[in-house]
A and B are shown apart, each in its own frame.
Chain A
Amino acid sequence: MLQEIPTSYCYLLSAIVFVIGAVGAITRKNAIVIFMSIELMLNAVNLVFISSGNAFASLDGSVFVFFVMTVAAVEAAVGLAIFVMLFRLKGTVNADEVNLLKG
């Protein structure tokens, strides 16, 4: 019988990946890379859900991840469309160039 993977290891991995994603979101200037870091954070959370579902013999985790993925897909579509528009407007997708909300 194959042993189950201890849940705490999964959580630990998730924590590390989440922090990596957060750092990337704050540090990088290219908007697309920021977006990818955010997707990374979402994935870390997905991992938590799946491992919790596995630990408690429940499929709720999977169902939730299903919905998270749906939303992530929509977010990707719309967000990238916005990046395209931004590029048309400003000629760049550098996050430092976009401070129209200043004040």
Chain B
Amino acid sequence: MADYIWLIPLFPAIGFIVNGFFGSRMSKDAVSWIACLAVFLSFLTSVAIFIQFLQMPAEARVFEINIYNWIASGELSIPLGFRIDALSIVMSLTVSGVAFLIHVYSIGYMAHDPGIKRFFIELNLFVFMMLILVTGNSLLMMFVGWEGVGLCSYLLIGFWYQKDSASDAGKKAFIVNRIGDFGFLLGIFLLFLSLGAQGVWTLNFGEIQKNAHLLNGNLAYIITFLFFVGAAGKSAQIPLYVWLPDAMEGPTPVSSLIHAATMVTAGVYMIARLNFLYSMAPDTMLIVAIIGVLTAFFAATIGFAQYDIKKVLAYSTISQLGYMFVAVGVGAYSAGIFHLMTHAFFKGLLFLGAGSIMHAMSGELDMRKMGGLRKKIPVTYWTFFIACLAIAGIPGFSGFFSKDEILWKAFSSPHGHILIWLLAALTAGMTAFYMFRLFFGVFYGDCRAPEDIKHHIHESPQVMTVPLMILAFLAIAGGYVGIPHLLGGTNLFDQFLAPVLGGGVHAEAASTGFGLVSSAWASGAEAAGEASLEMTLMIASVVTALIGIFIAYLLYVSNTKLPGKFTAAFPNLFKVVNNKYYVDELYDFVFVRGILKAGALLLKVVDIGIIEGIVNGSGSLMQWAGGLLRKFETGFVQQYAFGMILGAIVVVGYIVFAPLF
């Protein structure tokens, strides 16, 4: 079966083509079901390959197949090829599984939208590109998928393109991504050239891994840093996160699939895939971890002051992505992928739940206009509750296992640091707080909605609630594949990914990077293996989360006047946080206006002045020269004859006088 790995991306591609060409002639239902079927077949293929993997010994779980020799130029040979190993099968299962559930959900959610066929076509294209990204066997294949998902993100964010805000958001996403992609490309070029200088011309992952030792330390730093720039763009880390909140202009299933579960995780996947390079560059790993934790904290603070439910979830996504980067930054690659998977479940569920809430509230997004929905939309209420518990990291739910592993590794890994752990743990508490602020605000209290909307509140149809329930189940059960040793489990997830990701932390000498902090602070080898310390930290993080939930309960259920008083007491602080710290405005002022001004200057000086000047100038030069010459053409024959006589003088003079010299 593993010979057929190319089927995994093929099914959505076929769905895209069939729907694309014949969709206009088919009914709405046919298009939807073809799209769902395509993704489902992809999922089944992934499951089949996974089962086959389980029956094989761990070292043999790598399949590579090259379909077509795409680029053959001199020494360089880049085929169209796919690679399935433990990492890509996990990603492929997650992507195709969650995508299938969201496709089914979309049948209900987008039922009344006139562009539903276009929606499914673009969604299938997205799944195709994402699967190429995760199953590609070379950096170039991954880049093809990378760009493809960026394109689909643009198309789907701007799905309701008649709205200016939506098309602007699509453009913003694409342009900010492009900045990251520039870094990614530079990284690819540098890697290619550096390996090539040693005689190895390849972009294939397996080959790179075999030859990575040929790169010297400095090159590894630069290359991994450039790749991280690309990851920061796609996965919305500081400073390139600004597109993700705006991407909420797209339909909610899009936000769920692309901007929560799959596309934004591509950066994490990329770093995990290249873990052997990152292990050679501890300084870059430190940068990754620092930016990850700062992003997590920063985005969580913004989430405190947002009223739009999708925006809260967007900042929550940025924050959780920060956690994943912390994980890969401290060397806990499988922990990062584990959190990626659980996050796909509970964040996907949260967004779908938000969509269900919006469906009940006739499209209303503002938290302040909701409330008291608990009894009216029970399925949504319970699944949302489960997802919130998962994201808060309450024991028993999947988020607990993955987040806890990240926190532990942040503390104990040789690349980790106590400050990183501290900030991450604090952010965990904050996450619990703002998620339950959202939860209590929407489902508890009195219903603050206007009358006409109140009457229409109804539970979503089954085609929407069944995926919610399946995801809720996964949000609970998905974590049990990664039960840590501490609690008696064997961490199957870590073991499964070990051949690819190296069993987590690399036992290299810890470099605390740039000499910023003295090694007295580095929590290195002494901490690893201390079971009681691990238990203490685990309890600490759970307690922080519970405190967060309790504060949220206080503020939004028992004493609902308190938040108002707080806002009144610190109006400026509130305003700054509510406006996302004015980062967008800063970017606009510095970069956008700067580039526009530079463009205008270039237009005036170079385009109009120089280039048009040259073109028009040569024209007017010719005209002037012609005007000069025109004076000879008087039309009077005798003047022409006079000219001939002058010529005759010259010729005769030459003939007569030349022999004398």
Total interface residues in chain B, CB < 8 Å: 10
B 618-653 contacts with A by CB, 8 A: 630, 633-638, 641-642, 645
CB–CB B633/A26 < 8 A? no
CB–CB A98/B637 < 8 A? yes
Residue A34 lies at the interface, judged by CB distance under 8 Å to chain B: yes
Mind listing 29 A-B residue pairs with CB under 8 Å? A22-B645, A25-B638, A25-B641, A26-B638, A26-B641, A26-B642, A26-B645, A27-B638, A29-B638, A34-B637, A34-B638, A95-B636, A95-B637, A95-B638, A96-B636, A98-B635, A98-B637, A99-B634, A99-B635, A99-B636, A100-B635, A101-B633, A101-B635, A102-B633, A102-B634, A102-B635, A103-B630, A103-B633, A103-B635
Interchain CA distance A26-B642 in the complex, whole Å: 6
Closest 9 pairs (CB-CB, A-B) = A99-B635, A102-B635, A101-B635, A26-B638, A26-B642, A99-B636, A25-B641, A26-B641, A95-B638
Interchain CA distance A11-B213 in the complex, whole Å: 98
Complex contacts, B637 vs chain A, CB 8 Å: 34, 95, 98
Complex contacts, A100 vs chain B, CB 8 Å: 635
- Smallest Cβ distance from A38 to chain B, in angstroms? 9
Complex contacts, A25 vs chain B, CB 8 Å: 638, 641
Interface of B is mostly: helix
Interchain CA distance A46-B370 in the complex, whole Å: 117
Interchain CA distance A99-B632 in the complex, whole Å: 12
Residue of A nearest to B636 (CB): A99
Interchain CA distance A103-B630 in the complex, whole Å: 6
Complex contacts, A34 vs chain B, CB 8 Å: 637-638
Interchain CA distance A31-B613 in the complex, whole Å: 49
- Smallest Cβ distance from B625 to chain A, in angstroms? 15
Interchain CA distance A27-B639 in the complex, whole Å: 10
Interchain CA distance A61-B202 in the complex, whole Å: 87
Interchain CA distance A34-B639 in the complex, whole Å: 13
Interface string of B539-561 (1 = CB under 8 A from A): 00000000000000000000000
- Smallest Cβ distance from B465 to chain A, in angstroms? 87
Interchain CA distance A102-B645 in the complex, whole Å: 20
Residue of A nearest to B648 (CB): A22
- Smallest Cβ distance from B641 to chain A, in angstroms? 6
Complex contacts, A102 vs chain B, CB 8 Å: 633-635
- Smallest Cβ distance from B566 to chain A, in angstroms? 88
A 24-55 contacts with B by CB, 8 A: 25-27, 29, 34
A 56-103 contacts with B by CB, 8 A: 95-96, 98-103
Interchain CA distance A26-B645 in the complex, whole Å: 9
Interchain CA distance A99-B635 in the complex, whole Å: 4
Interchain CA distance A61-B658 in the complex, whole Å: 25
Interchain CA distance A77-B384 in the complex, whole Å: 112
Interchain CA distance A8-B642 in the complex, whole Å: 27
Interchain CA distance A33-B170 in the complex, whole Å: 86
